[in-house]
Amino acid sequence: MNETLAHVERILAFAGGIVVLFVAAVALKNDWKAKGLENQVFKMMLALLALGAFLAILASVNVLAGKGVEI
């Protein structure tokens, strides 16, 4: 049961990570030339969101070392 749940979690993390990474990258590309302090903070938040999504993708395919369930 736990192994099945781990498989489902990894599949959802991979799919969600791809979606979030794509959306954050497109939004960052669209706002790249924006000026102002608020826009700079927004771009930093989008970059961190993309980084987190990328790390979720790496974790879902077991690239990052951890103590999770081995598949």
- Tens digits of residue pLDDT in 32-63: 998 999 999 999 999 999 999 999 899 888 88
Q: How high is the pLDDT of residue 69? A: 59
Residue range(s) defining the domain that contains residue 26: 2-60
Residue 35 falls within a domain, yes or no? yes
Q: How high is the pLDDT of residue 14? A: 93
Who has greater pLDDT, 63 or 20? Answer: 20
Residue 21 falls within a domain, yes or no? yes
Residue 55 buriedness (CB in 10 A; 0-12 / 13-18 / 19+): middle
Cβ–Cβ < 8 Å for 10, 60: yes
Average pLDDT, the chain: 88
Residue 70 falls within a domain, yes or no? no
Residue 48 falls within a domain, yes or no? yes
Global pTM value: 0.80
φ, ψ (nearest 5 deg) of residue 34: -70, 145
Per the structure, the count of domains in the chain is: 1
SS3 assignment, position 70: coil
Helix (H) / strand (E) containing 71: none
Residue 68 has pLDDT above 70, yes or no: no
